[in-house]
Amino acid sequence: LFGHVEPAPKDPILGVTEAYLADPSPDKVNVGVGAYRDDNGKPLVLDCVREAERRIAGNLNMEYLPMGGSVKMIEESLKLAYGEDSELIKDKRIAAVQALSGTGACRLFADFQKRFLPDSQIYIPTPTWSNHHNIWRDAQVPQKAYTYYHPESRGLDFAGLMNDIKNAPDGSFFMLHACAHNPTGVDPTEEQWREISHQFKVKKHFPFFDMAYQGFASGDPERDAKAIRIFLEDGHQIGCAQSYAKNMGLYGQRVGCLSILCEDEMQAVAVKSQLQQIARPMYSNPPVHGALVVSIILNDPELKSLWLKEVKGMADRIIGMRTALKENLEKLGSSLSWEHITNQIGMFCYSGMTPEQVDRLTNEFHIYMTRNGRISMAGVTTRNVGYLANAIHEVTK
């Protein structure tokens, strides 16, 4: 019956973790998956999360959440993305449901898009997080590429990006990384976001923001929501996928939020009911524990300020490691420019290394990363940065 089923190809990101775990070498380094590590290379559970869990302990029953998830968690998520005092929230114009982290939020949106705008397409940046392609493919929404990265400068190809926005048919759907672009670590400046928003307005495009790293770009979640706020000021309807995997370290809890800004409350009620309809046959209703952790933290001023401090701590450690990696490469006498390591932001450095160079890093030095040359800076530590720099220098000579 299943004789025709071929093994699936390895996932380009999660497959790296599998290979890393299988390597017995004591020198091995994992800078593949975007998952934060402390300076000892260990996963970090935030103090605010531990405290929220302490408050939950013994008080949590195991009842189902509603299909749309935790109302409290959604409320807090909207404040985080749209602004504490947003009129849009007061006017109940936002349809929002809890989602299985950022991936689940994107997938719910993609399914919604297919169901209600079956002829639409999605514009996705080149490059992007590999799973974006899988998500819209499985939702059967045709994909178009838009220019984003400029390989020579290892920065933004702003002219190319603007051209593609202008040349797309009016009313197109665009998937935008709200901050800390994955994999490149390259974000538009505030001024560039304003121009992008303006051009979206002219073209009546619909922006869908994937905000998986709010807090990881600048260390301040409020600042990292700037792109979204600019679009809101300009009066766009938007969609937004939020994740608490990275900024609260709740990776395995799968907690996130999908929101769609509608024309009015009535439309928002209808859209939310349809999002719930999409969720129901897939997973019925989302898990409760992580949602409770998030709502407790964001709803308590003390825990929230602890969280803000801890997010900044994670972002700052990564920024420190960027400087350390660059300085180590310079000290080794590398003749290449490594300015982009510190110019790029967020969890990743898009190093410019070729797949062959990455293969050498893995085969000769037990360093694991995705073949597109992306380094997860969150996996770099005081202890391994010298080893990593030396290996990079050897394969890029």
Instruction: Answer yes or no whether residue 199 interacts with ligand LMR by CB under 6 A.
Output: no
**CB-neighbour burial class of residue 322 (10 A; exposed 0-12, middle 13-18, buried 19+):** buried
Q: Mention every residue, 6+ apart, whose C-beta is less than 8 A from residue 22.
A: none
Catalytic hit among 111, 129, 157, 226: 129
Which is closer to ligand LMR, CB of 32 or CB of 219? 32
CB 252 → ligand LMR: shortest distance, Å?
11
- Catalytic site includes residue 38: no
Which is closer to ligand LMR, CB of 241 or CB of 268? 241
Which is closer to ligand LMR, CB of 28 or CB of 72? 28
CB 129 → ligand LMR: shortest distance, Å?
5
C-alpha 29/C-alpha 379 separation (Å) is 8
C-alpha 253/C-alpha 291 separation (Å) is 8
Q: Mention every residue, 6+ apart, whose C-beta is less than 8 A from residue 356.
A: none
> What is the token pair recorded at 318?
């990564």
Instruction: Answer yes or no whether residue 30 interacts with ligand LMR by CB under 6 A.
Output: no
Q: Is the dihedral of CA 33, 37, 42, 43 positive or negative?
A: negative
CB 34 → ligand LMR: shortest distance, Å?
3
Which is closer to ligand LMR, CB of 35 or CB of 294? 35
- Three-class HEC string of 163-190: HHHHHCCCCCEEEEECCCCCCCCCCCCH
Which is closer to ligand LMR, CB of 186 or CB of 271? 186
Q: Which of 20, 129, 193, 200 binds ligand LMR (CB under 6 A)?
A: 129
Instruction: Answer yes or no whether residue 358 interacts with ligand LMR by CB under 6 A.
Output: no
Per rule CB under 6 A, count of chain residues that contact ligand LMR: 6
CA-wise closest residue to 112 among 125, 99, 124, 101: 99
Q: Which of 33, 74, 271, 315 binds ligand LMR (CB under 6 A)?
A: 33
CA-wise closest residue to 293 among 11, 17, 49: 49
Give the residue nearest to ligand LMR (CB). 34
- Catalytic site includes residue 307: no
Q: Is the dihedral of CA 74, 285, 279, 109 positive or negative?
A: positive
Instruction: Answer yes or no whether residue 124 interacts with ligand LMR by CB under 6 A.
Output: no
Instruction: Answer yes or no whether residue 70 interacts with ligand LMR by CB under 6 A.
Output: no
Chain-centroid distance of CA 34 in Å reads 9
Which is closer to ligand LMR, CB of 82 or CB of 149? 149
Instruction: Answer yes or no whether residue 173 interacts with ligand LMR by CB under 6 A.
Output: no
Instruction: Answer yes or no whether residue 17 interacts with ligand LMR by CB under 6 A.
Output: no
Instruction: Answer yes or no whether residue 13 interacts with ligand LMR by CB under 6 A.
Output: yes
Instruction: Answer yes or no whether residue 244 interacts with ligand LMR by CB under 6 A.
Output: no
Catalytic hit among 157, 187, 210, 224: 210
Partners of 122 in the β-ladder: 143, 173
Positions in 179-198 near ligand LMR (CB under 6 A): 182
Residue 373's SS3 state is coil
Instruction: Answer yes or no whether residue 131 interacts with ligand LMR by CB under 6 A.
Output: yes
Q: Which of 29, 30, 31, 34 binds ligand LMR (CB under 6 A)?
A: 34
Contact indicator for 345, 321 with CB cutoff of 8 Å: no
Contact indicator for 307, 219 with CB cutoff of 8 Å: no
Instruction: Answer yes or no whether residue 293 interacts with ligand LMR by CB under 6 A.
Output: no
Strands 374-376 and 348-350: antiparallel
- Catalytic site includes residue 164: no
> What is the token pair recorded at 177?
């990384």
Contact indicator for 102, 259 with CB cutoff of 8 Å: no
Known catalytic residues are 129, 210, 246
Q: Note the residues at the interface with ligand LMR (CB under 6 A).
A: 13, 33-34, 129, 131, 182
